Amino acid sequence: MRSNWHKAGVTSVVVALAAALLVSACAGERRRPRLQYQERAVELLYGTGVSRLESRRWDEATTFFEEVERQHPYSEWSRRAILMQVYAHYQGNNYEEAIAAADRFIRLYPGSSSAPYAFYMKAICYFEQIVDVGRDQGVTVQARTALQDVVRRYPNTAYAADARLKLDMVADQLAGKEMAVGRWYQSQNQLLAAAGRYKHVIDQYQTTSHTPEALYRLVEVYLTMGLREEAIRNGSVLGFNYPGSVWYADAYRLLAREGARPDVEPQAPARGWRRFIPGVREREQDRNFGQASREQQRQELVRGIMQGGSEQENDARDSAQEGADESR
């Protein structure tokens, strides 16, 4: 049972913290409360940050965790506070700050058992910034590099398993970009450039959903260029690997009109099959899954980090909650 002195001390400290919040007035920057420096008990700072995190007040949570790191650098509290900053920034969609915090953790604690989480969260922050194929794919390349890093460093973890799934989506996205550029070249009658893009998809992204279309486009391009044998060869590859694809049905009709009917008859497309914008449906499904699982991820992270110092940290958490309740 906590003493009245302890409860009064918690209340006064929390009130002092609230009174010390300053708002940054820098033009063009995101406004976020900052704490004026005043030495405080680390338990109260960390516990208040966790309380804000559980209340989904992401910016306020990061403020308290940053203060833990500033006042108690290189401590066990600081190590955990950096991880909490990564997660709070991520939840607030502040991806650049989350990546910066993850990089800082990796630099300071490369051998920590929590390092896989930091690498993974860095990759996820890049992954969730992927944009449609009509725009620059620089962040997609960064996501691929970061996800590959997770798989390479921690191949037998759950983080690596999820990273492999996301790498498939990233490959589909990059292939979609190549296809979009190839179609543009083809529309401008720059056939050699278009063929180069389509062949790149077949060579580098052959397991993606774009390969059937890439083969069909090569049939189109080669027929237009008068390279009949090349068109027939790519049509045969398409028919052998994707006989039920609508792309093969189109290629079959195209070649038949040119008097080069393929041996393999096209099969009817699967019922319910429909074309979709490359990469968008998969990414939307993954985003929906991510939103559904964030609550569980948050609970697991908070539980895991809080369990490290158990009794002391739980006291800090309870004390901060009491102070917050009394200050309302």
Three-class DSSP labels, the chain? CCCHHHHHHHHHHHHHHHHCEEECCCCCCCCCEEECCCCCCHHHHHHHHHHHHHCCCHHHHHHHHHHHHHHCCCCHHHHHHHHHHHHHHHHCCCHHHHHHHHHHHHHHCCCCCCHHHHHHHHHHHHHCCCCCCCCCCHHHHHHHHHHHHHHHHCCCCHHHHHHHHHHHHHHHHHHHHHHHHHHHHHHCCCHHHHHHHHHHHHHHCCCCCCHHHHHHHHHHHHHHHCCHHHHHHHHHHHHHHCCCCHHHHHHHHHHHHCCCCCCCCCCCCCCCCCCCCCCHHHHHHHHHHHHHHHHHHHHHHHHHHHHCCHHHHHHHHHHHHHHHHHHC
**From CA 106, how far away is CA 9, in angstroms rounded?**
36
Indicate whether 231 pLDDT > 50.
Answer: yes
Output the CA angle 199-168-107, nearest 5 degrees. 115
- What pLDDT shows up at residue 304? 53
- What pLDDT shows up at residue 276? 35
Average pLDDT, the chain: 78
Residue 287 binned pLDDT confidence (cut-offs 50, 70, 90) = very low
Distances, alpha carbon 112 to alpha carbons 83, 146, 190, in Å: 11, 18, 53
- What pLDDT shows up at residue 107? 96
CA atoms within 13 A on the CB side of 2: 15
Indicate whether 59 pLDDT > 60.
Answer: yes
**Which segment of 48-52, 92-96, 157-161, 270-274 scores lowest on mean pLDDT?**
270-274
Q: By percentage, how much of the chain surpasses pLDDT 90?
A: 56
- What pLDDT shows up at residue 191? 95
Residue 268 binned pLDDT confidence (cut-offs 50, 70, 90) = low
- What pLDDT shows up at residue 299? 54
Residue 31 binned pLDDT confidence (cut-offs 50, 70, 90) = low
Indicate whether 3 pLDDT > 50.
Answer: no
**From CA 167, how far away is CA 173, in angstroms rounded?**
10
**From CA 86, how far away is CA 30, in angstroms rounded?**
17
Residue 267 binned pLDDT confidence (cut-offs 50, 70, 90) = confident
Assess contact for 219 and 251: CB atoms under 8 A.
Answer: yes
- What pLDDT shows up at residue 301? 55
Q: By percentage, how much of the chain surpasses pLDDT 70?
A: 69
Determine the average pLDDT of the residues in 250-258. Answer: 91
